[in-house]
Chains A and B, each alone.
Chain A
Amino acid sequence: MSPMTAQIAEKVEAAPRRRSIGEVVLTVDDLQTVFYTRAGMVRAVDRVSFALKAGETLAIVGESGCGKSITALSLLRLIPDPPGRIVGGKVVLEGTDLLSLSEPAMRKVRGNRVSMIFQEPMTSLNPVLTVGRQISQALMMHQGMSKAAAMERAVEMLRLVKVPEPAQRVKEYPHQLSGGMRQRVMIAMALSCNPRVLIADEPTTALDVTIQAQILDLILELQNQLGTAVILITHDLGVVAETAQRVIVMYAGRKVEEATVEELFARPLHPYTRGLMASIPRLGLMRNQTVETGRLQEIPGMVPPLFDLPAGCAYAPRCALADDRCRAEYPPFEEKRDAHWAACWHAGE
């Protein structure tokens, strides 16, 4: 085990484990989302499957453009069509396939049984509506609450997400709040109808480091209180280590590895996962670094354009282990170890 992974593994041990993980609430089966672009058809999400249990946190990690956000938007059917379209698979929420629902029925799911928080708290709230108005909208829509009752509930929700002086804040507009406060408002909004699944798309990326930890703690605390299942989309493995139970690593629209957090950090199988772990800066190393060893690792090259994927493994052009077989044939996604899957011909080498 490298010192890096050891360090993360420690974090994993220290992180509070979820006490009650329940039944499966959401299963995603062979989800395929494509975009029709001028350069050709792009498979942004290519046969992605996973299951999510109540109270569980599942992290989806990968670089920009690997399809993690599109996966999340596909679950809520929020892919702009055109140019995008979900062309295959199933998204089953407690027995209902969301992909076969009518649009009005789907609207009753969004923000009610499945909700989502976004990366940019600065731009994700409507600038001309008060915070209270925005939180109460969903309550009035989904729970049939009166305006006054919804507004009262909005105050409660703000108290729940630890916004100081909630009764005052509901009357304020987003520009009067800081980034961290806005993200709290987003969380309050997303959780107002007590959803079964919360999708958090890079919820802390745009925030200060000190605020990041607070927001993550808040999400986990509320998850514990409400029993919500969380899909956490991030590119930050540090965040994954502190919050998730299971991790999916995506690359170029596909799942390349899946395991429990402990397993993944202890024995990453896919070279891409290992590359991601190696490219996290570490303070300890930087202190006594030498010129050769102290340099931050990077994964050479870039994510290939999705409209021009290589025939074999999409990671092959950047992979040190790649051979002719990798370049010719896409590796199957297999259980390489107990509850640890990977799509690589050289898994674990």
Chain B
Amino acid sequence: MASYLVKRLLLMLLTLFGMSVLIFVMLRLVPGNIADIVFEAAGMIDDADKAQIEAELGLDQPIIVQYLQWIGGLVQGDLGFSYVSEKPTIEEIGPRIPITAKLALMALIFSIVLGLPLGVISAVRQNTKLDYALRVISLSGLSLPSFWLALLILMFCVQYFGTIPIYTRPPDTLWDELLLYSIPAAAVGFRSSALIMRLTRSSMLEVLRQDYIRTARAMGASNTSVNYYHALKNAVLPVTTIIGIEAAFLIGGLIVTETVFNIPGVARFLVEAILWRDYPIVQNLVMFIALVVVVVNFLVDLLYVVLDPRIKYAD
């Protein structure tokens, strides 16, 4: 186990390194830098001024030097300054992270709480009207882009309730927070819940045919105990993988949803930063997201050991 952990940690570092090169190069492949954008916005280009700005920001240096400067800073905990606000990157990103984290967590909880039981019900009542209805709903969940669903919810609420909780200032109480984030979280989580539901269903159908389920019934276990204890404990294993992957996908869904619901989280901020070619913000934010994804995947792998006693990570 110990050597497995070391191996995994090294692999994670390697992944993050690859990610840093990728995002760094890709950002510089996108046409224009902050100077171009600033001048474009002003409607004039002064080559001398532009060169001066680029020199100030270090954008005139060879790309490899720029990369090493960034990584060197990163290793020392120096994330640089935002080109746009000129504030330290950490001050820009820091306060926004909890907002997105809460939103993502709520979306994930929503998708699990909805997806798992419905998947079980759908499997237990296979080929009934209820099963068909749930399958149609889950298919629609997979097909609906979350931003469009978010718009629909927005329009529905405004049309029928005349209002919708909207982010104007940081919420004071936990209840306000729940109220504010629940709708966007549901809009993002719906897709994941559909995926989790479908996977739970097929996994349950597989497990319910197993001999040990018959054993449980033969020993007098009730339907609830058979379905949610004996069967689900086995069926949840492949679902865990999907939940891990979905946790990463959620960030993508959040970018548009934060925009639609005007929530000042990191996801929306990332899009803005990309538009401004605010390299320090984009690079560090992407690295942070990559770190989260890598860590979540690692935790999911560790979770297998807890959930399935047959899995052991050998040394």
Is residue A153 contacting chain B, with contact meaning CB distance below 8 A?
no
Most buried by A among B210, B211, B215, B217: B215
Known A127-B234, A128-B234, A128-B309: A120·B220 in contact at CB below 8 Å? no
Is residue A297 contacting chain B, with contact meaning CB distance below 8 A?
no
When chains A and B are docked, how far (Å) is the Cα of A189 from the Cα of B214?
14
**Interface contact B211-A123, CB-CB below 8 Å:** yes
- Measured CB to CB, the closest approach of chain B to A137, in angstroms, equals 7
When chains A and B are docked, how far (Å) is the Cα of A111 from the Cα of B234?
22
**Interface contact A110-B215, CB-CB below 8 Å:** no
When chains A and B are docked, how far (Å) is the Cα of A221 from the Cα of B72?
75
- B219's partner among A123, A127, A137, A173 (CB-CB below 8 A) is A137
Which chain A residues (114-149) contact chain B, with CB distance < 8 Å? 115-116, 118, 120, 123-130, 137-138, 141-142
**Interface contact B309-A125, CB-CB below 8 Å:** no
Known A129-B233, A175-B309: A124·B219 in contact at CB below 8 Å? no
CB-CB under 8 A from B310, the residues of chain A are 127, 173, 175
CB-CB under 8 A from B212, the residues of chain A are 123-127
Is residue B274 contacting chain A, with contact meaning CB distance below 8 A?
no
Is residue B173 contacting chain A, with contact meaning CB distance below 8 A?
no
CB-CB under 8 A from A130, the residues of chain B are 309
Is residue A213 contacting chain B, with contact meaning CB distance below 8 A?
no
- Chain A, interface size category, equals 20 to 34
Is residue B96 contacting chain A, with contact meaning CB distance below 8 A?
no
Which chain B residues (102-161) contact chain A, with CB distance < 8 Å? none
- Measured CB to CB, the closest approach of chain A to B97, in angstroms, equals 36
B residues sitting closer than 8 Å to A (CB atoms) are 210-212, 214-222, 230, 233-234, 307-310
A residues sitting closer than 8 Å to B (CB atoms) are 76, 78, 104, 107-112, 115-116, 118, 120, 123-130, 137-138, 141-142, 173, 175, 186, 189-190
What are 23 A-to-B residue pairs whose CB atoms are below 8 Å? A76-B218, A107-B220, A107-B222, A109-B220, A110-B218, A110-B219, A115-B219, A118-B214, A123-B210, A123-B211, A124-B212, A126-B230, A126-B233, A127-B212, A127-B234, A127-B308, A127-B310, A137-B219, A142-B220, A173-B309, A175-B309, A189-B215, A189-B219
**Known contacts A107-B220, A127-B308; 18 further A-B pairs (Cβ under 8 A):** A78-B214, A110-B220, A118-B211, A118-B214, A118-B218, A123-B211, A123-B212, A124-B211, A125-B212, A126-B230, A127-B234, A128-B307, A129-B233, A137-B221, A141-B219, A141-B220, A186-B215, A189-B215
